[in-house]
Structure 1
Amino acid sequence: MPPPRTGIRASARIWLRRFWKLLLIIVAIPLVLSILYRPGFIHPVSTLMLADLVALKGYDRRWVPLEEMGQIGPISVMMSEDAKFCAHNGVDWGEMRAVLNEFLNGESPRGASTITMQTVKNLFLPIGRSYVRKLVEVPLAMYFDLIYPKRRIMEIYLNVAEWGPGIYGLEAASQHYFGRPARDLTARQAALLAVTLPNPSARNPAKPSNQLNRLANRIERRARASGAYIGCIVQESR
C-alpha cells in the first residue's frame, strides 16, 4: 500500500492530466470549427442561436450571401462597428492599447471589439462579458483573420449578429423592422440597423429615439465618405 502522500501526488497528476486534456479539447473545438466553417455553402449558427433552440424559443435567421445583401447595409455596419476592418489583422491594436490605458487609469473601458472579434465571440464563446473571454477573443480573431477572406468574415458576421430577441442577421432584421430585403435598404434604414447592434435588446431601429437618430446621422455621413476603407467588402458586391 503506497504512503498517503504518494497517493495524493498520483491523484493530483491524474487530475492535472485530465485538466490539460480538457483544455486542449476546448481550444481545439473553435480551431477545427473555423476550418469547417470556411466554405461559403456552410451557414454557421451562433451560441445565442443555440441557446434559443435549447430554451425552445426558436429564432428568425435568413442566410443571405454577402453579394446579395447590397452594399449600403454592410458598409453602414462596418462604419459603425469597425471602420478599420479592411486594414487590421483581426485586432485593432490601437483601440486595444487605448482600452488597456483606460483600465489601468481606473476608467470604465469602452469596447474595442473588431468585427472579427465579434464574429468569433458569436460563433464559439460563452454568452456574457469578462476580461478572460476578451483575452481568448484576441488570438482566436487573429487566427480567424489569417485563414478567412475578409468578405467571408463579414458575411458570417452579418448572418449571425443579433438584432433583437430571436432576430439574427441583417436579412431577418431588415425584413422584421422595415419589411424589405437587405439589398433594398435605404441609407437611413441601414444606418439605423447598424447603430442598433451594440444594444439590440434596448434599441429599436423602426422606432428610433433621438439619440439613435443622432448616431444614425453620424453613420450615414461615414458611409457616404467611406471611400477606400471598404474596398475589401464591396469589390465583388452587386
Structure 2
Amino acid sequence: MPSPILPASPTSRPRPRGIVRRLVGWTLRALLGFVLISILMVVLYRFVPPPVTLTMLGDAIEGHGIDKSWRSMDDIDPNMARAAIAGEDSRFCTHHGFDLKAIEKAYTRNAKGGRIRGGSTISQQTAKNVFLIQGGGYVRKAFEAYFTVLIETIWGKRRIMEVYLNVAETGIGTYGVEAGAQRYFGHDAGQLSPQEAGRIAAILPLPKKRAAVAPSGFTRRHGNAITRTVRVVRNGGLDGCLR
C-alpha cells in the first residue's frame, strides 16, 4: 500500500513572528554598533586631528589633491575665529549646537525665493565636514544633528572651532585656514590680519567658486563686512568661549 501523505510538520513552516524578531534583533545590534563606533570616533577626535574627511577624499578622486596642514587654536590668529563667528555663526558661544533663530530666518528668506541661504551653525558644519558627506538631504541632516549633539557634549566650543578651522574647505583641494592662508597670502595662519581673515571667512560658503585674492562682487562686499565685524566680535565678547 502507498504510504499516506502526512501533513507538513509545524516546525517546517515559516514563522512570521520569528523572522520579525530576528530582523528587529539585527536592527538593534546595527544601531547599537553605530552608536558605539560614532561615540568612539568623537572621543578620539577630541584629542587627535581627523586624518581625512569624505569631502577631501572626493577632491582627491577628482584629481584635485588634498592640501592641508593642521594648526592648533594657539597657532591661529584670533582674528580668524572672530571672522568665522562674524560670517557664519554670531551666536556660536551661546547656543548648544543649533541656532533656532538663524534657522527660522533662513527659512523665511528662502521661502521668498532668490539665493538659498542656510541656517547651519559652525557646530553643524563641523559635524558634517568631519563625519558626513556634503549632500544627502534630510537623511544627512538627521545624522548631522546627531553628531552635532555629540561634539557639543564631548568636544566643547574651543575644540569645535579648532577642528572647523582645520577641515573647512578654503579652496579647490585646499582645507583649513593654514593651507588657505598659504595659498592666498603666502604666510601662515598665525599672522592673519582682520582683512585677510575676513576674506577667508567670506569664501567658506562657496570655496570652489570664490577666492580670497582680489575678490569682487558679493565676495568682496561680504569680506569687507566681516572685517568690520571682527572688532565687534572681539569687543562684544562674542568669542568669549574661545579665550
Instruction: Give TM class, smaller chain.
Output: 0.7 to 0.9
2:139 corresponds to: 132
Percent of counterpart pairs with the same letter?
Answer: 36
**1:134 aligned counterpart, secondary structure:** helix
2:97 corresponds to: 90
Does residue 1:77 correspond to 2:84, yes or no?
yes
**2:40 aligned counterpart, secondary structure:** helix
* Alignment deviations for residues 184-237 of structure 1 (CA, whole Å, 9 cap, x no partner): 12222111110100000110111312211110111011112112111122x2xx
Q: TM-score, normalised by structure 1?
A: 0.85
1:43 corresponds to: 49
Does residue 1:229 correspond to 2:238, yes or no?
yes
2:6 corresponds to: none
Query: What letter corresponds to residue 200 of structure 1 in structure 2?
Result: P
CA distance, structure 2, for counterparts of residue 147 and residue 141 of structure 1: 10
1:26 corresponds to: 34
Q: 1:107 to 1:56 in 2, by over 3 A?
A: closer
Q: Which has the higher contact order (CA 8 A, sep 6+)?
A: 1
CA distance, structure 1, for counterparts of residue 135 and residue 42 of structure 2: 21
CA distance, structure 2, for counterparts of residue 12 and residue 101 of structure 1: 44
Query: What letter corresponds to residue 43 of structure 1 in structure 2?
Result: P
Larger radius of gyration: 2
- Give the count of matched residue pairs: 231
Shift of 1:37: 1.2
CA RMSD of the aligned region, Å?
A: 2.6
**2:22 aligned counterpart, secondary structure:** helix
**1:173 aligned counterpart, secondary structure:** helix
Query: What letter corresponds to residue 213 of structure 1 in structure 2?
Result: R
**1:83 aligned counterpart, secondary structure:** coil
**2:163 aligned counterpart, secondary structure:** helix
Q: 1:8 to 1:106 in 2, by over 3 A?
A: farther
1:14 corresponds to: 22
